[in-house]
Structure 1
Amino acid sequence: MSRFERYLTIWVGLAMLAGLVLGNVAPGLVTFVAGAELFSVNLVVAVLIWAMVYPMMIGVDLGSIHDVAKAPRGLIITLVVNWLIKPFTMALLAVLFFEHIFAPWIAPADAQQYIAGLILLGAAPCTAMVFVWSNLTRGDPNYTLVQVTVNDLIMVVAFAPIVAFLLGVTEIAVPWETLLLSVVLYIVLPLVAGLMTRRHLGTPDAIAAFKARVSPVSAVALAVTVVILFALQAEIIVAKPAAILLIAVPIVLQSYSIFALAYGAAWALKVPHRIAAPCAMIGTSNFFELAVAVAISLFGLGSGAALATVVGVLVEVPVMLSLVAFANRTRQKFDVGEADQAYEAAPPR
């Protein structure tokens, strides 16, 4: 890692503060950035996420993707956690906290809105940011790509029914444009650019050297993204600090619990660390663009449901960075075979 990447947690903290200041002192600029949207996807944030994902995609070798079938355990863990556990535990925690533990401090109508927002968040596993977390934990880019791709295919058919079941309604208006555009922006285009870059560079040494040069761009883009996200929500954060703290509690608890479950299962099943780390990160992180877009379309921009999904965005980066640090510290706890030793000894990608 570069020096900037090593102290990324500090830069993200400063970026949060910078975003809050910017959102309150320059609301006109924030409004301009917020207005750059297409199908509920903010194009400025999309460009920054693209910059985060592109360095990871340079490491993708399509010729090696078929090897994923030889190690299916990581993919199985991801799918079980994301679709059979995570949405339902998030709903359970939301009901527990907002209908019982926090009931004395929150109006029942607001509580139901927060529950709805958390359900939307829990049913949308990560698509783009997981490439960042995988890169920071030296995850296998080929395996990560397959995991994310399979998740996206399942999301197309499973997101609406799961949310409809948990919300107790019969019809959910899923903004398919948002879902499809996000997949194109955050996966397809960076992947094509990464493959073209590999082809142009040619040799493994040239690819590794170029990857090392552009990887810091990913960390810088992450910090700038945090500035923008916090600037966009600065007024809400200042106006409703107590509500945001209460909403954050079940999200943080869910995040660490899901990570512990997936990471622990990967360790117990002897999944290599380069697969285990991103495997756990996918379930822990969220596809916040989709969750926010659906919350706004179903309940309105100023709704408690929309606020809950936004809090998920604010909580995600610091939580995920702490889990990246934990995953890197516990790398040696995983059994390492000859293939993994060679992988770990390779130059940083």
Structure 2
Amino acid sequence: MYEENQKLKTWITPDLATEYLAGAVLLGAAPCTAMVFVWSTLTKGNPAYTVVQVASNDIIILFAFVPIVKFLLGVSNVSVPFQTLFMSVVLFVVIPLVAGIITRLLVVRKKGTEYFEQTFLHKFDSATTVGLLLTLILIFMFQGEVVLDNPLHIILIAVPLIIQTFFIFSLAFGVCRIIRLPCDIAAPAGMIGASNFFELAVAVAVALFGTSSPAALATTVGVLTEVPVMLTLVKIANKLKEKFKYE
């Protein structure tokens, strides 16, 4: 056992492992918000249910993200300032949320709810995809060299993240099947449980540890694994729709 531990230390030193763990904590503590709309749409999920899910996660992030991250990183002996965590939540959650509320109120007041839901929202159908691509480009601009220099580390970080994603999806999706919920509820329920708000996790990791830090690399690996894995889960959910037709 001692020899195996020594071999592991030659791959990843304790200090490096701590920073990788910090990145994984940031990923796990940031529940998915915007991207779940994409996964829900691809599985023909219930739009109203998806909105409620996202709203719930926004509330969780607003009130629980900072204390959860502070606690979990504290357990791992990683010291992080409250100010940086609060500022990240304000920039990436509070401001977009407030902007969305104000936009809805103004448009509905001027042109009505029907125009807002049937016309205005569809003007931004491609915005999420474009935003995701730009985010990925920016992340890999900063992390490309680090990713190429640490292929083994990428695998060691990616494997548990992939296993976790499949496990959480299977658990949520399976429970929905057991309690006989329709697939348009079960699919987004599994998706939102399995996915993360990786933009927030990456931003916090960069703010706390720097763009070339191991913690930022761990969150970047989260991006690398999440998109293809979630698309795989979308395919699985769509193939299993027949299982959710109850007599």
Q: TM-score range by the shorter chain?
A: 0.7 to 0.9
Q: Which moved more, 1:282-291 or 1:152-161?
A: 152-161
Q: Secondary structure at the match of 2:242?
A: helix
Q: Does 1:118 align with 2:24?
A: yes
RMSD: 3.3
Whichever residue aligns with residue 191 of structure 2, its letter is M
Whichever residue aligns with residue 209 of structure 2, its letter is F
| CA apart distance, 1:119 | 1.3
Contact residue 117 and residue 307 of structure 1 kept, 8 A? yes
Instruction: Output one character per residue of 1:76-105: Cα deviation in whole Å (capped at 9) or x when no partner.
Output: xxxxxxxxxxxxxxxxxxxxxxx7995452
1:1-349 counterparts in 2 under 5 A? 102-167=8-73, 168=75, 172-173=81-82, 174-184=84-94, 187=97, 189=99, 196=107, 202=114, 207=118, 211=122, 215=125, 218-219=128-129, 222-223=132-133, 225-335=135-245
Whichever residue aligns with residue 174 of structure 2, its letter is G
Gaps of 5+ in 1: 1-98, 338-349
| CA apart distance, 1:336 | 5.8
Contact residue 121 and residue 309 of structure 1 kept, 8 A? yes
Whichever residue aligns with residue 240 of structure 1, its letter is N
Q: CA 1:305–1:193 in structure 2 vs 1: closer, same or farther (change >3 Å)?
A: same
Equivalent-residue separation in structure 2 for 1:185 and 1:239 (angstroms): 36
Q: Secondary structure at the match of 1:233?
A: helix
Equivalent-residue separation in structure 2 for 1:304 and 1:171 (angstroms): 15
Q: CA 1:335–1:104 in structure 2 vs 1: closer, same or farther (change >3 Å)?
A: farther
Equivalent-residue separation in structure 1 for 2:208 and 2:141 (angstroms): 24
Equivalent-residue separation in structure 1 for 2:128 and 2:31 (angstroms): 21
Equivalent-residue separation in structure 2 for 1:292 and 1:263 (angstroms): 27
Q: CA 1:102–1:131 in structure 2 vs 1: closer, same or farther (change >3 Å)?
A: farther
Could you tell me the percent identity over the aligned residues?
47
Equivalent-residue separation in structure 1 for 2:242 and 2:104 (angstroms): 30
Instruction: Output one character per residue of 1:3-45: Cα deviation in whole Å (capped at 9) or x when no partner.
Output: xxxxxxxxxxxxxxxxxxxxxxxxxxxxxxxxxxxxxxxxxxx
Equivalent-residue separation in structure 2 for 1:135 and 1:100 (angstroms): 47
| CA apart distance, 1:324 | 1.2
Instruction: Output one character per residue of 1:146-189: Cα deviation in whole Å (capped at 9) or x when no partner.
Output: 11112221222222332233221586525323223322565554
Contact residue 62 and residue 94 of structure 2 kept, 8 A? no
How many residues are treated as equivalent by the alignment?
236
Equivalent-residue separation in structure 2 for 1:224 and 1:294 (angstroms): 18
Contact residue 19 and residue 214 of structure 2 kept, 8 A? yes
Equivalent-residue separation in structure 2 for 1:162 and 1:171 (angstroms): 12
Equivalent-residue separation in structure 2 for 1:101 and 1:131 (angstroms): 43
Matching residue of 1:18: none
Q: CA 1:159–1:245 in structure 2 vs 1: closer, same or farther (change >3 Å)?
A: same
Equivalent-residue separation in structure 2 for 1:120 and 1:185 (angstroms): 20
| CA apart distance, 1:252 | 0.9
Whichever residue aligns with residue 248 of structure 1, its letter is A
